Structure 1
Amino acid sequence: MPSILPEGDPAPDDGRLPAHVARRVREAESAGAPRTFSLYVHVPFCEVRCGYCDFNTYTAEDLGPGASRSSYAGTVTGELDFAAGVLAASDVPARQLETVFFGGGTPTLLPAADLVGILGRAREVFGLAPGAEVTTEANPDSVTARSLAELAAGGFTRVSFGMQSAVPHVLATLDRTHRPENVPAAVGWARDAGLEVSLDLIYGTPGESLEDWRTTVEAALALRPDHVSAYSLIVEEGTKFGSSVKRGVQADVDPDDQADKYLLAERLLAEAGYRWYEISNWALDPLDEGIHRARHNMAYWRDQDWWGAGPGAHSHLAGVRFWNAKHPAAYAQRLATGVSPSVGREEPDAEARFLERVMLGVRLSEGLETSVLDVAPDGGAQARGEIAAMIAEGLLDGRAALAGRIIPTLQGRLLDDAIVRRLAGF
C-alpha cells in the first residue's frame, strides 16, 4: 500500500456512498455477473523499515491512542462496524466476503488472537462465503508453529511469506531481518497447520548476480509452495534506496539485468509446474486448472469491489474509490469520534477507466477482451492496428487475438508498459 495518497474530492464525514453505487451493484447481479466483495486489512507495523519500501508502515509500537500494536485490533474492528453501517445506509446490497487479505507492514507482528479477532468480526458483520480465501502476509521470522496453527484454527487459509531472497548479502542489502534458514522452518509450520503457502521474491537488487537469483528461485522451488510472486526491485523516491541512488552511493537497478532474471524465473518455474497467470505471479498448476491463484489479487485485477480497512487503506465499490487517513493516529481519532476514516474520494472518468482496464487486462494470462477497445474515442481503430503490428513483432499471441483476446507473449510481458501505451494511443 503506497504511502502517498492520491488527490481527490473530500469524502463525507458519514461515509455515505453515491446512490449509483447500489444501483450498479444491483444491475450487475441482475445481468448475471455479480460484483464480488472482498476485504483488505492494513496493518502498518514493522520491526524494521526496508530500504526499498514505500508502503505506509511504521516501526514504533505505539503511535497514539487506538494506534498502538496492543489497541490496533479494536480500532480496525470499529471500522468494520462503521463500514457495515455505511453500506446499509447507502442501500448497497449485502454480500458475503469472497476473500480477505491482511497486508502491511507485517500483520503477524500482532498476536494471532488479534488477527483472528478481526477476521471473526468481519465474519459477523459481512459474512464469509463458502470456501472464502483468507490470507495474511508474514515475515518468516514473525511466526511460530503455534501462531500459524492458531491462525488456521481461526479461519485463515493462506499465508504469504516475504522470502525475497535466499542469499544473505542480498537480504542484507534489502534490510530484511530474517535469515535464509528461517524460510523452510516457517513454510513447514504453515504446512503442518494446513495453510496454503505463497512465497514473495524480489529480483534485481544491486549486487545480486544472475547466479544469486538462480539460488533464490531454486531454494523457493525446493519448498514446493503453492504460489510464487516475483517482483522486480523498484527504487522509489523518498525511500532509503532512492536517496542512496540519487547520491551515487548505490547503483540504480538495471532493466536488462532484471529482464534476464525474469526470463530465468519463468523458465525455472515453468519447468517445475508453475504457470504464470499475472506478470509477476505464478501458481502451482501442472494441469492448468487455475488452482492456487491468489483470488484476492484477482479481484483487484478484475475490477471487483473491496473495502480497505486501516490507515491509508483504499476501497473500491462499483467505480467509486475512497481512501482512509494515512497516519494511524489520525485514522484512529476519526473513528473514535464517530467520523468516517475516509478522507478522499474519486470516480475516474471513462477515459481513466479505459486506461486502467487495459493496464490490468494485459497483465493477465486470461488477457483482455478486444471488445474493450470499442469504447476508445476512435472506436478502437488505432489500437486494432497496433494489435496486428505487435503480433508481427512477437509481443502478442496471434491465436488469442483471433479468438478475441489480447494476451502478451513472454517477450511481451517484458514490454508490458509499451503494449499498454500503444493500445491506449499514447
Structure 2
Amino acid sequence: MARALYIHWPFCLANCPYCDFNSHVRSGVDTAAWEDALLADMRFEAEKAAGEPLNSIFFGGGTPSLMPPALVARLLSEAEGLWGFAPGIEITLEANPSSVETANFASLAAAGVNRASLGVQALDNEVLRFLGRLHDAGEALDALATAQRHFERVSFDLIYARPDQSEKQWREELARALDFRTGHLSLYQLTIEPQTRFATDVRRQVFAPLDDERAADLFAVTQEMTVAAGLPAYEISNHARPGEESRHNLTYWRYRDYAGIGPGAHGRRGGVATLRHRKPENYLAAVARQGHGLQDERALDRPEQASEALLMGLRLAEGVDLENLSVRFGYAPEDLVDHDKLALHQRLGLVRQDGSRVTVTPAGMPLLDALLADLVVADLVTA
C-alpha cells in the first residue's frame, strides 16, 4: 500500500506565465478551514490506504512555503499518527526564495521538514522578470544559503533552453549553480504548456521558443557539466549525488502507490487512480459535504498500468526490469516492449539491455519521447 504522501497547497502570490500546475491567487486564505479540510481528507485516505509506514511526504503546490509552519507541523503530526513514519523519512517542501518565505525556514525545519526544494528558476534578474518570478537573483542566493543552514538536504530548480539563450550563458549559469554543492538539482528545459500566458505569447509572436537543435545542445552541456560535478542525471531532468535522489519522485517514476490530498492532487492505491477537486472552493465544499476532497476514483486496467510503468520507468537512468514488470502486471517480458525496435535502437546506441533490464542511454535521452512511442508495445498503450 501507499508509502508516500503528497499534500497540495494550491495558493501562490502570483501566476507564473510558464506554469500549468494547479495554482491559484487569492486575497486571503482561511488557514483554520484549510487545516480542518486537509486533516479530514488525510484521515479518509489513510482508511483507504493504510499499511506500511510512510517513507516520504511531499508538500507541493502552488507555493507550500506560504503555509504557516504550525499548519505544516499539524499535518505531519497527523500523518505520523495515521501511518507511522519509516526511519529516516524524507519530508520535502517546495519553497520560493523570497525573503518572506525564507524567514520561515527555521520554523519549517523545526516542524519536521528535512528537505527543501527551491524554485530558483534562474540566476539572472532580467530572466527572472521574463519568467514572472517575484524574487531577484540576490534573494535566490540568500535563500539557498539559508536553506542549507536549516535543512538536511536542499534541491533547487533552474529553467534553461530559454529564448535566445546561448551555450556560453548556460555554462556560466549552471557553473554558478553547481558551486552551491547541493546534493540535488532539477534542470528543466522551458516548455510552452497549453493554456498558459507563454502559450498565448508564442501564438502572438511576442517571443519564439529556442529551436530544438540548440535546446539539444544545451541538454548535452547539462549532462556533461553535472556528471563532472558528481551530480549525474538519475531521471531525464533530475540530477543528484548518489544517495540524494528524491525518494518521493522515485515513488512516481517506479510506479508505486502514493496517497494524494489537497486540491487537484492525484494519487494511486491498489490499481485505482484518485483525483481531488481542483478548484480550492470546490475542494472545501466537497470535504464539508462528504468528508473528503475526492472527485474521482478510476480503476486502472492491466494494460494501462503496465504501459504507465514502462513510460515512467524508462525516464530513469536505472530503466526498467522487464521480469519485475511481468510479475507485477502478468505479462510475459517479450510482450511489454517491441523487441525489433529495441534491437534497432540498441544498434544505434540509444537503448541498452542487460539481461531483463532495459535502459535509455545518455545518447537516447534527448529523443526519449520518440523512443517511448517506439518501444512500448502499441497494444498496451491503446488497450
TM norm structure 1: 0.83
Structure 2 match to 1:340: 292
For residue 260 of structure 2, give the secondary structure of its aligned residue in structure 1.
Answer: strand
Structure 2 match to 1:322: 274
For residue 80 of structure 1, give the secondary structure of its aligned residue in structure 2.
Answer: helix
Q: Distance in 1 between matches of 2:114 and 2:277?
A: 29
Query: Does residue 335 of structure 2 align to residue 380 of structure 1?
Result: yes
Query: Does residue 40 of structure 2 align to residue 78 of structure 1?
Result: yes
Shift of 1:82: 2.6
The letter of the residue matching 2:256 is Q
Query: Does residue 344 of structure 2 align to residue 389 of structure 1?
Result: yes
Structure 2 match to 1:60: 26
Q: Distance in 1 between matches of 2:61 and 2:32?
A: 16
- Residues 127 and 154 (structure 1 numbering): CA distance in 2 closer, same or farther, change over 3 Å? same
Shift of 1:376: 6.5
| Structure 1, unpaired ranges of 5+ | 1-34, 286-290
For residue 226 of structure 2, give the secondary structure of its aligned residue in structure 1.
Answer: helix
CA contact (8 A) 1:366 1:407 kept: yes
The letter of the residue matching 1:314 is H
Shift of 1:336: 1.6
Shift of 1:314: 0.8
Q: Distance in 2 between matches of 1:162 and 1:409?
A: 28
Structure 2 match to 1:255: 212
Q: Distance in 1 between matches of 2:296 and 2:17?
A: 28
Query: Does residue 105 of structure 2 align to residue 153 of structure 1?
Result: no
For residue 98 of structure 2, give the secondary structure of its aligned residue in structure 1.
Answer: helix
Shift of 1:136: 0.2
Shift of 1:235: 0.8
The letter of the residue matching 1:333 is A
For residue 104 of structure 2, give the secondary structure of its aligned residue in structure 1.
Answer: helix
Structure 1 match to 2:381: none
Shift of 1:370: 3.4
Q: Distance in 1 between matches of 2:291 and 2:33?
A: 19
Shift of 1:310: 0.6
Shift of 1:157: 0.9
The letter of the residue matching 1:383 is D
Structure 1 match to 2:3: 37
Q: Deviations over 1:5-54 (max 9, x none)?
A: xxxxxxxxxxxxxxxxxxxxxxxxxxxxxx55111010111111000111
Structure 1 match to 2:140: 183
The letter of the residue matching 1:82 is F
CA contact (8 A) 1:202 1:230 kept: yes
Structure 2 match to 1:224: 181
- Residues 249 and 191 (structure 1 numbering): CA distance in 2 closer, same or farther, change over 3 Å? closer
Query: Does residue 306 of structure 2 align to residue 349 of structure 1?
Result: no
> How many equivalent residue pairs?
375
Q: Deviations over 1:184-221 (max 9, x none)?
A: 21122122224310011111222333222223211211
Q: Distance in 2 between matches of 1:300 and 1:109?
A: 25
- Residues 94 and 351 (structure 1 numbering): CA distance in 2 closer, same or farther, change over 3 Å? closer
| Structure 2, unpaired ranges of 5+ | 379-383
For residue 411 of structure 1, give the secondary structure of its aligned residue in structure 2.
Answer: coil
The letter of the residue matching 1:162 is G
Structure 2 match to 1:123: 80
Runs of 4+ in 1 over 6 A off after TM superposition: 373-378
Q: Which of the numbers 190, 195, 201 marks the counterpart of 2:158?
A: 201
The letter of the residue matching 1:53 is C
CA contact (8 A) 1:36 1:98 kept: no
- Residues 141 and 173 (structure 1 numbering): CA distance in 2 closer, same or farther, change over 3 Å? same
Structure 1 match to 2:12: 46
Structure 1 match to 2:318: 366
Q: Distance in 1 between matches of 2:162 and 2:3?
A: 36
The letter of the residue matching 1:192 is R
For residue 360 of structure 2, give the secondary structure of its aligned residue in structure 1.
Answer: coil
Query: Does residue 225 of structure 2 align to residue 268 of structure 1?
Result: yes
For residue 128 of structure 2, give the secondary structure of its aligned residue in structure 1.
Answer: helix
Q: Distance in 2 between matches of 1:146 and 1:174?
A: 23
Shift of 1:146: 4.7
Q: Distance in 2 between matches of 1:247 and 1:192?
A: 44
Structure 1 match to 2:236: 279
Structure 1 match to 2:53: 96
Shift of 1:123: 1.6
Structure 2 match to 1:162: 119
Q: How does 1:395-414 map to 2 (within 5 A)?
A: 395-397=350-352, 401-414=353-366
For residue 124 of structure 1, give the secondary structure of its aligned residue in structure 2.
Answer: helix
Q: How does 1:9-20 map to 2 (within 5 A)?
A: none
Q: Which 10-residue stretch deviates more, 348-357 or 173-182?
A: 348-357
CA contact (8 A) 1:394 1:411 kept: yes
Shift of 1:346: 1.5
For residue 199 of structure 1, give the secondary structure of its aligned residue in structure 2.
Answer: strand
Q: Deviations over 1:325-351 (max 9, x none)?
A: 111111111112334311112222222
CA contact (8 A) 1:137 1:161 kept: yes
CA contact (8 A) 2:66 2:101 kept: no
Give the RMSD, CA atoms, in angstroms: 2.2
The letter of the residue matching 1:360 is M
Shift of 1:237: 1.4
Q: Which 10-residue stretch deviates more, 212-221 or 327-336?
A: 212-221
For residue 21 of structure 2, give the secondary structure of its aligned residue in structure 1.
Answer: coil
Q: Distance in 2 between matches of 1:346 and 1:207?
A: 43
The letter of the residue matching 1:136 is L
Shift of 1:378: 10
Q: Which 10-residue stretch deviates more, 333-342 or 376-385?
A: 376-385
The letter of the residue matching 2:224 is R
Q: Which 10-residue stretch deviates more, 53-62 or 372-381?
A: 372-381
For residue 410 of structure 1, give the secondary structure of its aligned residue in structure 2.
Answer: coil
CA contact (8 A) 1:305 1:318 kept: yes
Query: Does residue 249 of structure 2 align to residue 297 of structure 1?
Result: yes
- Residues 318 and 143 (structure 1 numbering): CA distance in 2 closer, same or farther, change over 3 Å? farther
CA contact (8 A) 1:166 1:215 kept: no
The letter of the residue matching 2:349 is G
Q: Deviations over 1:83-115 (max 9, x none)?
A: 23x42xxxx553211100000011011222222
